[in-house]
Chains A and B, each alone.
Chain A
Amino acid sequence: MTAPTRTRYVQDFGVYAAVLVLLLFNALFTDNFLDLANLRTQLVQVAPVVIVALGMALVIGSEGIDLSVGSVMALAAAVIPLYLGSGMWVAIAMALLAGAAAGALNGTLVAVVNLQPIVATLALLVAGRGIALVLADGQLKQIRNPDLLALGRDQVAGLPVVVWIAILLALVVGAVVHRTTYGRQLVAVGGNRAAAQLAGLPVRRVLIVTYVLCGVFAALAGVLATARLTASDPSAIGNLMELSAITAVVVGGTPLTGGRIRVLGTVAGALLMQLLRATLIKHDLPDSTAQLVQAAIILVAVYVARQRRTT
């Protein structure tokens, strides 16, 4: 049951081709698109989405889904000001810890209580932002810590630190998925949980680790977004991020049915959606059109990536 070769190529390289086509189109028809400043802006905007989407790719690869990532970003943002007095690193560590705790809760509900991932993570999506707002007293807090501000502003070798972190994480996640025992176990669990269980794999541990990683990535994105915004704003940060992240993963060719993770595809998927939005805005198409086009792209991508049912 192999699909015809042409379909396979479209499935495997469609997202990269689409990114290239968009880049080419913009290079030819959009003024100042190839300016360094503009490209930098695009990369900075897409970096948090890439970071969250990488964690999401792991979870989706395990045949799960994590709806709570946006709320976890808000949670991390709310934790930062509480510990900034002890220095930037302590604050970041606590924020990441909060993300890990959220992930551990999600993972436990999925792996131990055997809840469906949608329901398990729905609870934190609802409660997470609430907790964040309670922690922050519902207020936006200005960030004045110079270290953290520098993290959001500084550049290394012409690229913002935020972008470097995203690139580094993509490489690390790629290596983890393809080169480590955990990565192989994760794919096996996502492909067939019952079989993995019977084969003696530590299914529960693999699932919990996966959700913890996703939570930590989301928290990191929340930290970086806070540093860029120069303010901790739990009510706004990470809003609808779960949708952007899931879209990037799915458009990148990772099937929702688990058992296969495409890390580079996920990065390309996030880039594609970002470029699409930027292109539509730069050509003065209204927001409404942009959303309709996005919806269409998602459907087309999923339809193309549809895997044949092998029984």
Chain B
Amino acid sequence: MTAVAEQSQQVPVARVATSERLAALAQRHGALAVLLLALLVSSLTFDAFASFDNLAGIAIQSSFLVIVALGMTFVIIGGGIDLSVGSVFALGGVLAAWASQWGMVAALVAPLLVCGGIGLLNGLIIARTGLAPFIVTLASLLGARGLLLAITSEGATTYLVPRDAVFLDLGRGTLWGLGYPVWIAVALCALGGLLLQRTGYGQAVYAVGGSEDAASLMGLPVARVKTLSYLLSGLLAGLAGCLNAARLGSGVTILGVGMELDAIAAVVIGGTLLVGGAGTISGTLCGVLLLGVIQNVINQIGNLTSSIQSVVSGAFLVVVVVTQSYLSRIRRLR
């Protein structure tokens, strides 16, 4: 079939290869190029933008979304989707604040246990019953919110982290001018990259996302791979919520609404295909930072309302995905 197609196309092979290479390059590094361009334009337009403090501010604000989107990247590359991360993020924050009265270890372990449990449950249900990830994680979005309301007496209680807690340093401390959450996010991305590119599990995630049937015919443990991805997503969302609570010094109950959308948007802008089977963590990182830069620039302009931000982000998303689908069509030309 492909042989016939190649013969019938009266295009010199070299040209196809070049356009394909360019398309592949654009798909792989498009987000990074756009991010650099955005940084350059913003720096030239606004005096205050390129200052270290401002950039460090963007970094710390983006760090929580980076951690959440990292888990989402694994799930989406594996061909799934996780809508529960926003609720899980909020739940993780509240649990961390509540447990912080017993010290740092408790404040970390409590949210990771519960949020990891939710992620594991998502994964098990999706992998074992074959229900649509969209619906299962929609149910856990509601469920996690319900849990959050239950432990905060219907949202009326805001747990405060004790003022002298070591746990606060985790969110507020800085190293070389950058907050700890930024370093943690960077370290997690590096680990995630290794996991995705250099381990059997990571390669299996790509295989399962590319074609589940083919993966199971190759003898890959499809159910286990899926379960692990959702577990990761739950753990990371919980950890992000926990770090955020450390930074704010309290477990705010109304956080995380719509966060799943930001995470999905970041992953998609970063060049990960929602059909699964392709994507990179560096792309996701660029996607999150791009959203952060857009937000920062809109704040810099000052006389714009925050509603403009969602319009710009949405428009951006359309441009990116349309471009992506066009590029992948070029690559399929052969």
Contacts and interface: CB of A to CB of B under 8 A. Distances in A.
B33 interface: no
Contacts, number: 133
6 nearest CB pairs, A to B = A127-B314, A291-B146, A130-B310, A288-B149, A133-B307, A288-B150
Given A116-B275, A289-B150, A250 B135 contact: yes
B308 interface: yes
11 contacts: A122-B264, A122-B265, A126-B310, A127-B315, A138-B307, A246-B135, A246-B138, A250-B135, A295-B146, A298-B138, A302-B135
A191 B148 CA distance: 39
A119 B321 contact: yes
A75 to B, nearest CB: 11
A123 B142 contact: no
Nearest to B309: A130
A138 B305 contact: yes
| Size bracket, chain A contacts | 35 or more
A84 interface: no
B187 interface: no
A298 B81 CA distance: 17
Contacts of A127: 310-311, 313-315, 317-318
Interface of A: 65, 109, 113-116, 118-120, 122-134, 138, 243, 246-247, 250, 256-257, 286-292, 294-296, 298-299, 302-303, 306, 309
Given A130-B308, A294-B146, 5 more contacts: A116-B275, A125-B261, A129-B310, A131-B307, A299-B135
Contact of A306 (B131, B134, B274, B305): B131
A35 B125 CA distance: 41
B146 A288 contact: yes
B275 A256 contact: no
B27 interface: no
Contacts of A132: 307
A222 B136 CA distance: 28
A298 B325 contact: no
Nearest to A128: B314
Nearest to B275: A116
| Size bracket, chain B contacts | 35 or more
Contacts of B307: 129-134, 138
B10 interface: no
A291 B311 contact: no
A298 B142 contact: yes
B132 A256 contact: yes
Contact of A295 (B81, B134, B139): B139
Contacts of A247: 138
Interface in B264-293: 264-265, 268, 274-275
A137 to B, nearest CB: 8
Nearest to A137: B305
Nearest to B311: A130
Nearest to B318: A123
A243 B265 CA distance: 18
Contacts of A114: 325
B314 A123 contact: yes
Instruction: Count chain B CB atoms within 10 A of each CB in A122, A133, A288 and give the residue with the most.
Output: A288
A138 B309 CA distance: 13
A17 B130 CA distance: 25
A109 B314 contact: no
Contacts of B145: 288, 291
Interface in B304-334: 305, 307-311, 313-315, 317-318, 321-322, 325
B132 A116 contact: no
B193 interface: no
Contact of A286 (B143, B154, B268, B309): B154
B214 interface: no
Contacts of B130: 306, 309
Contacts of B314: 123-128, 130
A113 B327 CA distance: 12
B321 A123 contact: yes
Given A109-B322, A116-B274, A299-B139, A122 B146 contact: no
Nearest to B322: A113
B132 A291 contact: no
B310 A287 contact: no
B305 A289 contact: no
B296 interface: no
B146 A119 contact: no
Interface in B129-179: 129-132, 134-136, 138-143, 145-150, 154-155
Given A118-B274, A134-B308, A287-B154, A256 B317 contact: no
